[in-house]
Structure 1
Amino acid sequence: MQILLIRHGESEADLLNVHEGRADFELTAMGRRQVSGLVQKVKNDFPPDFIWASTLKRARETAETLAQAIGCPVAYEEELMEFNNGIQAGMSFEEAKNHPKPQFLHDRFENGESFIEFRMRIETIFSKIVTENKYERIAIVAHGGVINSILRAFFQMPMNMDYYFKIGDTGISMIELTDNEKVIHFINDTNHLESI
């Protein structure tokens, strides 16, 4: 089974210079152009048979646009939402400096979740998607933090490793699970943005 991991396009939070996370911002005009390039790339090169997507607006619109162009079903899953950064969601970067960041992996953001809870949430939904899958190629349309957590799980990286996979707007990654091995085809392909 091949799994496309797709990040949403640019959102309004990028222009407002605020923390996003669980804040539910829509795509910008640029974000929609990015999604258009993404759609052409995926449709031509590796169209999925089924799409799973986060319920947050920026990922939902990205997934809907892709699903309509390809003509495949899409299912929305709340567990694929971005990291719950609590009170920092939608807060300016300046204002957020007045609120302490968690010191340890088990500490929560105020009204949010801990990094351990986030990783476990994503590993759980990823496991469910993989084990219930009946398609040859699926796509998961979500967020940078979600994709990072999936890749860390795929690589069986320990919780305390501080590696970060840079995933750009509409970045595409492809991994594959077979009976015998795990294959990484590519991570963070954004070539479809060159003409935008």
Structure 2
Amino acid sequence: MQILLIRHGESEADILNVHEGRADFELTERGRKQVGSLSQKVKKDFPPDFIWASTLKRARETAETLGETIGCPVQLEEELMEFNNGVQAGLSLEEAKKYPEPKFFHERFENGESFIEFRMRIETIFSKIVTGNKYERIAIVAHGGVINNILRAFYQMPINMDYYFKIEDTGISLIEFTDKEKVIHFINDTSHLGNI
């Protein structure tokens, strides 16, 4: 089984310089162009049979555009939402400094979740998607933090590893489960963006 991990296109938060996380911003016009280009590449090179997507607007629109282009169903899943950064969501980077980040993995952001809770949420939904899958290739359209945690789960990395996989807007990663092994084909392919 192959799994495409796709990050949403540029959102309004990217140009407003605010903390996004659970803040529910729309795609920008540039983001929509990115998604159009992404959709054509995926349709041509590795079309999925089924798409799972976060319910947040930026990921949902990305997934729905991709699904329409390819002609495959999209299943929205709340558990694929980005990290719940609580009171920081939507605040400017300066304002957010009033709410310091927790020092330990088990501590929650105010009105949000801890890094351990986030990792476990993503591992749980990823396990459900993989074990319930009946398709040869699926896509998961989500967020940078979600994709990072899926890759950490795939690599079986401990929670305290400080590696970060840089995933750009509409970056595509392809992983695969075979009968014998787990394969990483590529991470963060953005070749479809050109001059966008």
**TM-score scaled to structure 1, two decimals?**
0.99
- CA distance in 2: counterparts of 1:37 and 1:61, whole angstroms: 14
Specify the alignment match of 2:18 in structure 1: 18
Specify the alignment match of 2:135 in structure 1: 135
Q: Return the letter of the residue paired with 1:194.
A: G
- CA distance in 1: counterparts of 2:184 and 2:100, whole angstroms: 37
Specify the alignment match of 1:187 in structure 2: 187
- CA distance in 2: counterparts of 1:37 and 1:58, whole angstroms: 16
- CA distance in 2: counterparts of 1:98 and 1:72, whole angstroms: 44
Specify the alignment match of 1:61 in structure 2: 61
- CA distance in 2: counterparts of 1:142 and 1:17, whole angstroms: 20
- CA distance in 2: counterparts of 1:70 and 1:120, whole angstroms: 31
SS at match of 2:94: helix
SS at match of 2:75: strand
Q: Return the letter of the residue paired with 1:179.
A: D
SS at match of 2:102: coil
Offset of 1:99 from its aligned partner?
Answer: 1.1
Specify the alignment match of 1:47 in structure 2: 47
- CA distance in 1: counterparts of 2:99 and 2:80, whole angstroms: 26
Residues 14-72 of structure 1, C-alpha deviations (whole Å, 9 max, x = no match)? 01100000000000000000001100100000000000000000000000000001000
Aligned CA RMSD, in angstroms, stands at 0.5
Offset of 1:124 from its aligned partner?
Answer: 0.1
- CA distance in 2: counterparts of 1:88 and 1:162, whole angstroms: 22
Matched-pair identity in %: 83
Specify the alignment match of 1:112 in structure 2: 112
- CA distance in 2: counterparts of 1:144 and 1:29, whole angstroms: 20
1:149 aligns with 2:146: no
- CA distance in 1: counterparts of 2:98 and 2:106, whole angstroms: 21
Specify the alignment match of 2:93 in structure 1: 93
Q: Return the letter of the residue paired with 2:116.
A: I
- CA distance in 2: counterparts of 1:105 and 1:64, whole angstroms: 34
Offset of 1:195 from its aligned partner?
Answer: 3.6
- CA distance in 2: counterparts of 1:127 and 1:73, whole angstroms: 20
Residues 146-190 of structure 1, C-alpha deviations (whole Å, 9 max, x = no match)? 000000000000100000000000000000001110000000000
Within-5 A mapping of 1:66-77: 66-77=66-77
Q: Return the letter of the residue paired with 1:114.
A: S
- CA distance in 2: counterparts of 1:32 and 1:56, whole angstroms: 15
Specify the alignment match of 2:79 in structure 1: 79
- CA distance in 2: counterparts of 1:98 and 1:74, whole angstroms: 39
* Unmatched tracts of structure 2, length 5 or more: none
1:32 aligns with 2:32: yes
- CA distance in 1: counterparts of 2:6 and 2:100, whole angstroms: 31
Offset of 1:8 from its aligned partner?
Answer: 0.1
Offset of 1:194 from its aligned partner?
Answer: 1.1
